[in-house]
Amino acid sequence: MKVVTTLEELRQIRQTLPNPLGFVPTMGFLHEGHLSLVRAAKAACQSVAVSIFVNPTQFGPSEDLAAYPRDLQRDLALLKAEGVDLVWAPTPEVMYPEGYQTWVEVTEVTQPLEGGMRPGHFKGVATVVAKLFNAVQPQAAFFGQKDAQQAVVIQRMVKDLNMPIELHICPIMREADGLAMSSRNTYLSPIERQAALVLSRSLKAGKSAYEAGERNAEKLKQAVLSVLEAEPLARVQYVSCADPNSLQELSGAFEQVLISMAVYVGKTRLIDNIVLK
Ligand code: AMP
């Protein structure tokens, strides 16, 4: 496994890797969710590249950029064990050299949900992913459904900018008790970790209501909210029942739905979602 930080090294090694190359962009502090993407890339491609970069431009001024967990040595050991061919771990200076002024903005699908709560977040995400794609030149890229809106935004960007990259959106990996895996779970105290189960529990309640025939968006949202509100350590930022493609909020009758949420447990902001169809 080659580990590189500069663009020059990256380009040199990239040329030696057989196509199709599968690419998994990450912010590091890897868990089984990330590794599931690596395994999907291994299964579908001749070679696999992973990037590790905590992208400053997708964090808001009051967000957790400085505190974001990092452990490069551990990440590299995990990736080596998966048989990854190339790891690119650039510095912020490599990605955003002095004088940097070029941005990718996806307009409509970045407005609701996470985009509404985290202004500028998806401008940072789309820009860094476009830059990573340009540098790594993969034929396929692997993202998690955990970040449902991110997946929609990247799909839109790839289509709109004619990027010759096949996108794979992989299922959410969960702990045995249901908590969606996230690097940010490490912020949770033991009591908060227990309380955080309310997110997946509320989605399960939504799924049960849907399976019992509920097709009214407001009523479905209420079924989810009532579970969340019963947990004293949880503070709901938003719960949404949206169209899975346009991400527009649903009202009244619907057929398919993306239920998504952001919930604070203590100071930690957690997201989770489910698509019902
Ligand atoms: P991050 O390091 O948080 O930027 O995540 C890198 C990639 O891993 C993104 O495509 C995420 O959607 C994906 N990912 C994160 N958590 C999970 C999870 N629990 N299951 C599946 N994919 C995930």
The per-residue pLDDT for range 227-254, each reduced to its tens digit, is 999 999 999 999 999 999 999 999 999 9
**Whose structure tokens read 């019902």?**
276
Indicate the top mutation candidate among 52, 88, 114, 143 to test ligand 1's pocket, ranked by most ligand atoms within 8 A of CB.
Answer: 143
Instruction: Supply the residue whose CA is at minimum distance from atom 17 of ligand 1.
Output: 33
Q: What is the pLDDT of residue 241?
A: 98
Distances (CA, A) of 144 to 4, 193, 217, 259: 24, 22, 25, 16
Residues with CB under 6 A from ligand 1: 26-27, 33-34, 36-37, 143-144, 146-147, 170, 172-173, 180-183
Distance 190 CA to ligand 1 centre (A): 22
Q: How far does the chain reach from its first CA to its final CA, in angstroms?
A: 40
Ligand 1 centre to CA of 144 (Å) is 5
145: helix, strand or coil:
coil
CB 70, CB 29: distance < 8 Å: yes
Query: From the CB of residue 122, how many other CB atoms can be counted at a distance below 10 Å?
Result: 27
Considering only CA atoms, which of 66, 53, 59 is closest in space to residue 121?
Answer: 59
State the closest ligand 1 atom to the C-alpha of 24, by its place in the atom list counted from 1.
Answer: 7
Assess contact for 198 and 227: CB atoms under 8 A. yes
Q: What is the pLDDT of residue 40?
A: 99
Partners of 180 in the β-ladder: 174
pLDDT value of residue 17: 98
pLDDT at 38: 99
Nearest to 135 by CA among 8, 255, 242, 259: 8
Q: How far apart are CA 225 and CA 182, in angstroms?
A: 22
| 28 Cα to the center of ligand 1, angstroms | 10
The confidence score (pLDDT) of residue 188 equals 98
Which pLDDT score is estimated for 213? 98
Distance 215 CA to ligand 1 centre (A): 29
Nearest atom within ligand 1 for CA of residue 181: 19
Q: Quick: pLDDT tens for 135-146.
A: 999 999 999 999
CA-nearest of 252, 251, 224 to 238 is: 224
Ligand 1 centroid – CA 136 distance (Å): 19
Nearest CA to ligand 1 atom 18: 33
Q: Please, what is the Cα angle at 181 between 81 and 32, to 5 degrees?
A: 15
In sequence order, the 6+-apart residues with CB closer than 8 A to the CB of 133 are 23, 141, 163, 165
From 24, 26, 78, 165, the mutation candidate for ligand 1 (largest count of ligand atoms within 8 A of CB) is 26
- Spatial distance between the Cα atoms of 35 and 83, rounded to a whole number of angstroms: 11
Taking Cα atoms as reference points, which of 41, 76, 52 lies closest to residue 170?
Answer: 41
Question: Quick one: pLDDT at residue 216?
Answer: 98
Predicted local distance difference test score (pLDDT) of residue 268: 98
- Taking the CA of residue 150 as reference, the ligand 1 atom at the shortest distance is 12
Q: Whose CA is nearest to atom 11 of ligand 1?
A: 144
Strands 166-170 and 234-242: unpaired
The residues annotated with a catalytic role in the active site are 34
Contacts 24+ apart (CB under 8 A), 173-180: 173/31, 173/32, 173/33, 173/36, 173/144, 173/146, 174/200, 178/204, 180/33, 180/146, 180/270, 180/271, 180/272
Q: What pLDDT is attached to residue 4?
A: 98
Mean pLDDT by 10 residues, the chain (277 residues): 98 98 98 98 99 98 97 98 98 98 98 98 99 98 98 98 98 98 98 98 98 98 98 98 98 98 98 98
Q: Side-chain half-sphere of 16: how many Cα atoms within 13 Å?
A: 8
pLDDT number for residue 47? 99
